[in-house]
Copies of this chain bind each other. A is one copy, B any other.
């Protein structure tokens, strides 16, 4: 082993962990459009959110402070797995024979196995402080439900999760993990809510949807001041909590004297991507570096590259405030790709706004190419990635091969937002040759698009 071989891991001590979240909003050249009340079409105010969220989070949602101190109690929990490791992908570089230097920031070391606890812990904490006794939420594949159950266990809150029926049946391991962390979990639609009962009355065998599960979780939270609702992506405060990822990554790259030429992340709701990218965008706006910022979305749900930028609902049922975002229409149902966390009809309003400002690029990639890269990554780096970050890895491999073509020593930083230990059925499907690259004809979204509210 050569003495000057670079370390594979770039670690920070707990005392080096950042103690503030970064709010990119005040640094942007133009403010993002307000959310609108769906009835009045007036800008939505704190009172509109109060039945669902604690005031501290509502204030963070609209804050113009550049930095917000992370509470000591949240820092103490973060220290269970943070600072998260950054890796130099020496094995993948060798396999690609690229002059690029590839770094990845790995969030799979968290209790839930993804970046989701970064915001779950913060949300549980602020709810606890304001006297809330229980949090409700929806979950699809189960990452978010797991993260919230874990966070609630630590702050002695009850946690009730409505999981989309089809996932509930297909992914019993996720359900068991939520229960292990002390969460109560129901398949959605359930007979516990009016929303659920209505769906079951019409269709007793309904496989459920994220939209229905949101309706159930919200219905159980809204009327009871001791019960609140928690959302795992999309909103400003959620993205802000994730900036701990990018702040750490800045410190880690500085330790090895690197500045990135390109940042690559996958986008679903946008929280993992924003969490990595926003601190680097700050440095770019300040003239300290000039990375290209590249979002990779699934070809089957391409909200940034194929959607429109318009006011739309956050949920399928059309009950949330209207948010200006890139959307495929709130009633668009994506094909069943394995990256369940990327199957969202819209993009975080803040990411959408930044995209419109020309501060980032986006591409869409089909899932077989993503799993090609995911398997190559597993065999060279030893970590089996979740289906979502295989999109970031496919984008990274493309960048590394471009660098090879150009003969350039490009520095690539990517976000490996979670492991795939509970998603191995997707790999089974891939190895069986049964993974489908769905077509995405324009007609697919037209019907849903016609129902985007005219504002």
Determine whether the beta carbon of A8 is less than 8 Å from that of B378. no
Report B-chain residues with C-beta under 8 Å of the C-beta of A172.
Answer: 424-425, 428
Determine whether the beta carbon of B173 is less than 8 Å from that of A9. no
A4 to B11, CA, bound (A): 21
- Majority-rule SS of A interface residues: helix
Determine whether the beta carbon of B9 is less than 8 Å from that of A425. no
Question: Does A40 sit within 8 A of B, measured CB to CB?
Answer: no
Report B-chain residues with C-beta under 8 Å of the C-beta of A384.
Answer: 111, 177, 180
Determine whether the beta carbon of A424 is less than 8 Å from that of B176. yes
**Contact bitstring A135-172, B, C-beta under 8 A = 1, else 0:** 00000000000000010011000000000000000001
Determine whether the beta carbon of A72 is less than 8 Å from that of B1. yes
Contact of A382 among B150, B175, B179 (CB under 8 A): B150
Question: Does A383 sit within 8 A of B, measured CB to CB?
Answer: yes
The segment from A75-83, A302-310, A438-446 that touches chain B is A75-83
Question: Does A450 sit within 8 A of B, measured CB to CB?
Answer: no
Known A-B contacts A172-B424, A173-B425, A431-B176; A79 and B8 likewise in contact (beta carbons under 8 Å): yes
A139 to B337, CA, bound (A): 31
Report B-chain residues with C-beta under 8 Å of the C-beta of A153.
Answer: 379-380
A112 to B375, CA, bound (A): 14
Determine whether the beta carbon of A113 is less than 8 Å from that of B421. yes
Smallest beta-carbon distance A432→chain B, Å: 10
Interface size on A, residues (CB 8 A): 49
Report B-chain residues with C-beta under 8 Å of the C-beta of A61.
Answer: none
Report B-chain residues with C-beta under 8 Å of the C-beta of A261.
Answer: none
Question: Does A7 sit within 8 A of B, measured CB to CB?
Answer: yes
Contact of A9 among B14, B113, B175 (CB under 8 A): B14
A204 to B153, CA, bound (A): 48
Closest B-chain residue to A421, C-beta based? Answer: B421
Contact of A179 among B9, B175, B431 (CB under 8 A): B431
Report B-chain residues with C-beta under 8 Å of the C-beta of A422.
Answer: 173, 421, 424
Determine whether the beta carbon of A13 is less than 8 Å from that of B8. no
Question: Does A109 sit within 8 A of B, measured CB to CB?
Answer: yes
Question: Does A182 sit within 8 A of B, measured CB to CB?
Answer: yes
A200 to B425, CA, bound (A): 28
Contact of A381 among B7, B76, B80 (CB under 8 A): B80
Closest CB pairs A-B (n = 8): A111-B382, A421-B421, A173-B424, A176-B424, A1-B72, A153-B379, A176-B427, A176-B428
A residues with a Cβ closer than 8 A to B are 1, 5, 7-9, 11, 13-15, 72, 75-76, 79-81, 91, 109-111, 113, 150, 153-154, 172-177, 179-182, 375, 378-384, 419, 421-422, 424-425, 427-428, 431
In addition to A80-B91, A153-B379, A177-B424, 4 A-B residue pairs with Cβ atoms within 8 Å of each other are A1-B72, A80-B382, A180-B378, A421-B421
5 cross-chain CB contacts under 8 A: A5-B76, A8-B79, A172-B424, A179-B427, A180-B384
